[in-house]
Every structure is written in C-alpha cells, then in structure tokens.
Amino acid sequence: MSRARHFRGIFTALLALALLLPMLAQAIDALPFKDRAEEQRFQNLTRQLRCLVCQNESLADSSADLAKDLREEVFEQMKQGKSDIEIKQYLTARYGDFVLYNPPLRGGTALLWFGPLLVLLIGAGIVYRIVRRRAKVTPATPSAASSEEDW
Amino acid sequence: MNARFLPLVGFGLVAALLAFGIHYMRNNSMNEVPSPLIGKAAPAFDLPLLNDPGKRLSNADLAGKPYLLNVFASWCFACRDEHPILMSEGRKLGIPIIGFNYKDEAADATRWLQQFGDPYSVVIADRDGRIAIDFGVYGAPESFLVDGKGIIRYKRIGAITPEILAFELKPRLAAMQGESP
C-alpha cells in the first residue's frame, strides 16, 4: 500500500516536471512584446528562419548564442516597422538563402521545386508504357479459368 | 533493351546517387554556408581596438590596401588550432592581418593573445557581435580576404590549415596583387 503511494508520489513529481518543462523552453529570452499578435508574428517569422550554428533548428527553437542575437535583431527590426520580407532580406543578404527554410523560387532552385514533379511525370510515363504493353499482350477478356486461378 | 534489366539499371542509378552523396559529403562540409558577401563590399565597421578602446578602426582606415580579417575569440577551440599557422605564416603573407575579436571579454582576449602570441597587426573588438552579423559570421574562426577596393574576395569558414593557405588563400592573394590597383 505504502509502496503504491510512493510510486504515485514519484509519478506526480514527474508529471509536474513534464508540465513545467515547456514553460522553461518558452522563457529562452523574454522579449518585451506589446501584444499577443506581435509575439505570434515574431514566433511565426523566427520559425521560418534557420539557426546557422545548429543547422537543424529554427531560430525560434535554438538556444545558441548567435540565434539569441539574431532573435533580438529580428525583434528590433519588427519594432522599427520593417516587414517580414524586409527582415528576411536583411538576413539573406548576410547569410544567404540558407537561413530560409523555404527556399525562394529562381533559376538555381528550379530543380529543387520542380524536381519531384519531374520524377513523378517520369514515373507516370513508365507506368503508362508498361500498362499499355501489358494490355496488348494479355487478351482483352481473360478466360474464367485463369481469373479464378489468379484469385 | 531487355526489360529484365530494368531493375538492375534502377539499382545502378540509386547506387550511383548514393556514391555521389558519400563522395560529395567527404569533400564538401555541409556545415559551411556559402557567403553571399563574396564579390561585394565588406560591410561598414567602426570598432574600438582591443588594447586601446579609446581608439577605433573603420573601413576608411584600411582603404587602398588588401587585408585579411580573422574572426577569433578566446572561447573558440578551433581558433587555438588555427593560431600557430597565423603565427608562423601570417607575417609572410605581406598583408596586414586584422584580428576581429568576436563576442569576447577584453581581459580574456588579451590574456589569450599573451599566452599564444599575437599575429595581428591590430585587433578590433566586437563585444556584442552586431558587426559580425553584418559580416555573416556564425562561428569562429572565420577569415575574410578583402582587396584594396574593400571587396571581399574570399571567405574561409573554419580554421586556416596549411592546405587552405597554400591552395586557397595564397593564389587569390597573388591574383589580387597582380591586378592594377
């Protein structure tokens, strides 16, 4: 009985810890947002930007020193009334397209954007050819016996 | 073509793609982000000197002569690896090496230079890292080769190794010096 209570105590403590952790993550750096909308715009923008130091994290999630500086820079520029596009241009001028999780569409990135479609079309072409060839080889109405065999 | 070989051809193509991937990753570090600043004017800076914060150094002071800007910090391990080659080969380059002390405590940086030696013509301190952002710095060490017109000609992300010095830095420097100013 006491053992069960003991475990329940541990469980409660772990649950409390698990619930508290996201709060810690939220408090990476407390920026003075004037309202919820501004904070959401900031979160939305920094999620689209890549941290240069730990390259698989967004600027919003990273705890790297440079990411913190860049978050402050983004926040400053938002305060100055710059648009999201202007802020992105500011960063790409310094760090290249790499900072954007969404690569821009231009000559050099055309393959990136349309490559999958191209592969899909090639695949569809191959399937079409195979299906047509099979349709020629197999009789249009298979006999009852062979269709039973297949099933 | 015999259709029986199609799967083999498919396998061959995938194998070739993977082999290319391995080969590419070996020769190109994925951590290196190509700088959009190459071929463009070095960002404007006006920063205090590390050993004499009353004095400052700006682009204007360096106009007309090529220089190597080397981003370093006392907290940066790779900078320590890079340091000996700057000490032994730096002077032989024939251009000033400007130390760019990045997000560092002045006392720490000064002690670091006393301990390992000072290869720099002058050291400027970017305490809060704002100018470093303009240079697209995201880690130390980084080095920028800037020509007499103030254009960034080459950027090295990571330590300067003997190979980098011989095959990347020196040829570019020679090419720059061959140009008429």
ipTM above 0.95, yes or no: no
B135 contacts A98? CB cut-off 8 A: no
Q: How many CA atoms lie within 13 Å of A133's alpha carbon, on the beta-carbon side? A: 7
Per DSSP, the three-state class of B6 is: helix
Q: Which two tokens stand for residue B163?
A: 């190979």
pLDDT at position A27 is 47
User: Which of the residues in chain A have pLDDT under 50?
Assistant: 1, 27
Using an 8 Å CB-CB cutoff, list residues of chain B that contact chain A: 30-31, 33-37, 103, 128-130, 133-136, 138-139
Q: Does A92 lie at the interface with B, CB-CB under 8 angstroms?
A: yes
B129: burial class by Cβ within 10 Å (0-12, 13-18, 19+)?
buried
Global pTM reads 0.73
What per-residue confidence (pLDDT) applies to B180? 53
- Strand B122-126 to strand B97-102: parallel, antiparallel, or no bridges (unpaired)? parallel
Query: What pLDDT is recorded for position B177?
Result: 80
Instruction: Tell me what pLDDT residue A151 has.
Output: 53
pLDDT of residue A145: 52
pLDDT of residue A75: 92
How many C-beta neighbours within 10 Å does residue A55 have?
13
CB A20 within 8 A of CB A61: no
**How many contacts does A have with B, using Cβ atoms within 8 A?**
39
Residues of chain B with C-beta less than 8 angstroms from the C-beta of A53: 138-139
- Report the C-alpha gap between A49 and A40 in whole angstroms: 15
Percent of chain B with pLDDT over 70: 96
Burial of B42 (0-12, 13-18, 19+ CB in 10 A): buried
- The pLDDT score that the predictor gives to residue A28 is 56
- Closest residue in B to A90 (Cα) is B134
Per-residue pLDDT of chain B (181 residues; tens, 9 = 90+): 577 888 999 999 999 999 998 888 877 666 667 788 888 999 999 999 998 989 999 988 998 889 999 999 999 999 999 999 999 998 888 899 999 999 999 999 999 999 999 999 999 999 989 999 999 998 889 999 999 899 999 999 889 999 889 888 999 988 888 775 5
What pLDDT sits at residue B33? 72
